[in-house]
Structures are given as C-alpha cells and as structure tokens.
Chains A and B, each alone.
Chain A
Amino acid sequence: MTKVPVQFVLNGEEKAEFVESGATLLRALREKIGDTSVKAGCQQGTCGSCAVVVDGELRLSCLTLAERCGGCSIETTGGLAHGEVLHPLQRAFNEGFATQCGFCTPGMIMAAKALLDRNPQPSREDVVEAISGNICRCTGYEPIIQAILAAARANSLSAA
C-alpha cells in the first residue's frame, strides 16, 4: 500500500506521519498519532462523533482525507484543556450534566467551539443549528444546548 507523508499542526504541536493513501483524518489521528479523543461513530459522515476543527472550520474527520490536511491547523477536544484548566465549554458540559455515555461529547464540544469562535454570543437557534450534525442518543440534547449557552455567557463575563 502506498504511504504518503503528511504534516500538520495538532493542538499547537507539529505532527508528521506516513499514512496510507486514502486514509481518513480520523484514522490518522486515532491510529497513527494516538489522539483517541476523536471518536469513530459511523465513519460515513452522519453522526458527528469524529468532528474536529481544521483551520477554524468544523470538519468530519471520517470524510476528510489525511493527505489533504498538509499544513493545516487541527484542533480536537483532546487538546482543549490547559493542564488541569478546562476550556469553558468543557467546564459547562461537565457541570451541566451534558454528558451521559460520553461518546458524542468530544465531537459535540468541537461543533460548539467552532460556533463560539465565530459567534461568541449565539442564540439558542444558532446553537441548535451548530450541533445539528452531531447525534447524541442519551441526553435528549437539552443539557447540551444549555451547556453551550452557559459557556458563551461565561466567555462574555470573562471578556467584560
């Protein structure tokens, strides 16, 4: 199988790997780099568990070829916290009971982060729209929506 070199920045760190040509970013992150915060739920672009942020845009890593990410900056939930200091979204999900089984959580948080990065004060409708590609089978979504809104409020307080 032909291997191709790929180099990108993951959560601020330079990464260089050889991946099989045609390998998804999901596989490269999980199996080559060992970032298992990215989850494989459907591998067909329907569940959002594998969502990551690539150059500021929310992307499904199961539908993104690793070799097309050369030179990109990639963010995953695994890189959000600074040591023990959680990102406001992580704090809000933790405190707001917005996780149950936890499998959708990393993708959900990345979808929320992509939203807050471009729209720090979203409406409820904005939040619902932003996570519309992410499936959660446990929570019924409401605690997730509330957590994202709470994180946005916390951000605005710390910015003030």
Chain B
Amino acid sequence: MELRKTYFADERKDDLKEIGQPRLRSDALGHVTGTTTFFADRNLPGLLHLKMVRSPHHHARIRSIDLSEAEKHPGVVRILTAADVPHNVYTILILIQVGPEDETVLATDKVRWKGEAVVAILADSERAAQEAAAKVKVDYEVLPAVLSIEEALAPGAPIVNEYHGQNYYRYDSGECRKVRYGDVEAGFAGADHILEQTYGSGPIEHAPTETTGCIVVPEGSGRFTCYTNTQAMFFTLDNASIILQMDGAKLHMVGGTVGGGFGGKVDVTVEPIAILGAKLTGRPVSFIYSREEEMQISSPRAAEKLVIKDGVMKDGRIVARYVKAYIDAGAYSRHSPYGAQKSAAHFPGPYTVPNVWVDSYCVYTNRTPSSAMRGFGVTIGDFALEVQMDKLARLVGMDPLEFRFVNAYRDGDMKAHRQPTEGAALIECMQEASRAARWPVAEKYLAMSSARREG
C-alpha cells in the first residue's frame, strides 16, 4: 500500500510507524484456531431455553392470553408475561433523556408489529420451549395497520403508538428536526435551474452470521452474569437495570466478542427478559435468536423517503437546498429519533450551500422497529445526495467530478447546522480519486486546497 505524504504535510510530523505496515490482529489467532469464545460457546448444567411467542399480526389488540395448554407441556419450567416484568414499558435512549418510554418488553394490551414479543417460554430444552410456544393461545382483534411512511402521515391514519399520540416523533423543535440556514426561497428565486427529486429505500437487515443472543447465569452472590453479544454493553446494562428495577451492581455483563454486528446488536431485546427468567427460576437461561428471528425480528436499517430540491447556477454553484426526510422507525423509537436528527444535520452533505432548509421526520409505522446500522440516518441520505449531485451536474452540463469541486466544503466554511468546517479533506480525496480512477479534471481543480480558498 502506498502512503502518500504530500497532503497536509505541514500539519503533522512525518513519523507514522504503523500506517502502511502489516500488523496481526490481536484476536485473529483465536478465530483461526476456533478458540475465540463467543457468548454461546458455553455448556451449563440446568440451562433453560427461552422461546418467544410473537405476534402474527402487524397491529392488533390482545383480548386474552391462554397459557393453560402451554403450562402443561412437558419440560416447561416457567412462562413469563408482561405482569412479570417490573418496568415493562421502556425506551433505550431514555438514558440520554430521549423519551417517552414507548415499547413493551412483553406486550400488554396491544401488538404494534408482526413479530412483537408477547409471552416468553422457559423450558428444559429448545424443542420443549418451541412446542409450548405453539400452544399459547392469544386472542387478537386485528386492527388496521400502517405499513408505509405515506400511510402513517395521511390524515386520519390509525395511531401506531399511543405513547407518542401521533405517527411521528415530537422533538423539542416540533414535528421534525429542522435546519434553517440563509434564505432558501431567495436562493431558489435567484437560481438558473431547480431540480426536485424523490428518493426511497427499503429496510436493510444486517444479517450477522452469529444471531443475537445471551446466556444468563444466576450466581450464588445474588448477581447475574450475562454473557452477551451486544454491541452496546452499557446501554444494555443500564436498560436492563431500569427494566428489571435492579441495581446495576447486580448485573455483570460479559461480552465484547460479537459475531458480526454492523449496528444490529445495539438494541436491548434479549438480555432483560433472560435475566428475569434466570431470577425467577434460579437457573441459567439461554435466549438466542433463530436465523428466522434474526432476519425478521431484529431491527433493520430504517426505510427512508427523501425529497431533495436544489437550486443551481449555470456555473455549477448550488445556491439553495431544501430537503424533506422521512425515517421509518417502525413501531417503536429505539435509536431512530437520534437517526433522524443526525440526518438533519448531515443533509447539506460535504458541500457548502448558502441557503438550506431541512425537515427530518422520525415516522412510526406498524413495521419491525428499525435502529442502528453503519451510519444510520446518513448513509441513505448520502446515496440520495450523490445521485442528486450527478443529476445536477448533467443539468448544467458539467463533469460530475468537477461539479463536486465547485461545491466542496473547505476549512472555515459555515455548515448549515452552524458548525464551522475544520479539517476538510474532500478536495484532496477527489484529486487523488481523479488520478486513481483516471478521471481527468481541469488543472484549476487540481490546484485547489481544502485549507484555503483561491483568489
């Protein structure tokens, strides 16, 4: 690998010893010998298996739950319902005061997405737990479901989540996260061309090879050791503490070895109920998603709908950018209010635009709750923005790479969310890309710098 040291040479000492050098991963020896201990790589005497009874409906009222047949099934040790959960309604980001609590650990009167957890079976074997789960009789009254952003925001739409009261998250700034910079209407009025496009994406599942899960061991000390593959150890610890109304010191989370996460293992969906099961039975409990659950139940990247309208001058300068972003949270918040907020701040992209208006909505639908995934709130926006940039370049008859040089942000430029640009390197990256991809650009662009403006 070639390490090019000419860029920003005056900003650092040229004494990089590690970059460009091969280094062994500290964990690879365990991986190649099969000795890395993943959470499920332990056999415990008396281990109970937890299987979840899940909603077959997108949206339904629960009239009654009949456990009588399931309780009689051989091997069943305990069945957990909402009444067993000390603090059953939670939301992950309450830890940073992003409420309201809007999600049930186990459903009470309603289910809001197909796959929602209703009843947890604890049995001596996985098979017994599975068979007993099939014997739980839940009487549902099916309700009309909202399955898209458009349906959710239509007048008179059924309310997905009563804890919010409307089908979008209410921020302190109102019905959406807003960015207001310059005068976007004046920008459009003075533009040579205007281009408005709508972009959409579906949910994307991370599909890690190791499914989400944990094994919990009740210790003689009164503590619970939870072996987990969470990517968010402290979110899990603190949320489990809230849900179980248990001092965090009683919870010993052990993890850090994750068989693929990509953001898909930051929700808190298995640990609290497994710890509760271990507490109520006094036995170790294993709760591991099947592959079907991983694909259907674990939260995906949100579906998004993005409307981008740009005003552009003949010389290629973007003078106004208006964005309406809709992030489909599914039935519950999880991390989506944060994702939608992040998208609002991100939307001008790495470009300096003098007039910007962004409205970013976190929308509730009766779909699988979405959550974190590699740059969530940003990645789909970048896809849309860069497609839009190509279309704008075509509109004004410019080379798409040169068009980006004209608009690239540089050190000192004010971003739309009022953070001055620092440490920009977009121009240098594009210069290098131009050479590497043999995509020539005019000499004046190769002379540009992120650190200063010419003239």
Contacts and interface: CB of A to CB of B under 8 A. Distances in A.
A157 B37 CA distance: 34
Given A36-B34, A103-B259, A41 B210 contact: yes
Interface string A36-56: 111111111011010000000
Interface residues of B, number: 32
Contacts of B25: 94, 97, 99
Interface string A68-100: 000000001110110000100111011101010
B23 to A, nearest CB: 9
A34 interface: yes
B35 A101 contact: no
Contacts of A94: 24-25, 28-29, 31-32
Given A104-B209, A137-B206, A99 B31 contact: yes
Contact of A101 (B22, B34, B210, B290): B210
Interface of B: 22, 24-25, 27-38, 40-43, 206-211, 258-262, 290-291
Would you call the interface of chain B mostly helix, strand, loop, or mixed? Answer: loop
B170 to A, nearest CB: 36
Given A36-B41, A43-B290, A137 B33 contact: no
Contacts of B27: 99, 102
Would you call the interface of chain A mostly helix, strand, loop, or mixed? Answer: loop
Given A40-B40, A104-B209, A95 B291 contact: no
A103 B260 contact: yes
A153 to B, nearest CB: 17
B420 to A, nearest CB: 36
B34 A47 contact: no
14 contacts: A36-B34, A41-B291, A78-B34, A81-B33, A94-B25, A94-B28, A94-B32, A99-B25, A99-B28, A102-B28, A136-B209, A137-B206, A137-B207, A137-B262
Of A30, A81, A94, A102, which is in contact with the most chain B CB atoms at under 10 Å from its CB? A102
Interface of A: 30-31, 34-44, 46-47, 49, 76-78, 80-81, 86, 89-91, 93-95, 97, 99, 101-106, 109, 135-138
B334 to A, nearest CB: 21
A15 to B, nearest CB: 15
A46 B258 CA distance: 20
Contacts of B41: 30, 36
B291 A42 contact: yes
Contacts of A103: 38, 208-210, 259-260
Given A91-B32, A93-B28, 17 more contacts: A31-B43, A36-B34, A36-B41, A39-B259, A41-B209, A41-B211, A41-B291, A42-B209, A43-B291, A49-B209, A76-B34, A86-B33, A94-B32, A95-B24, A101-B208, A137-B208, A137-B262
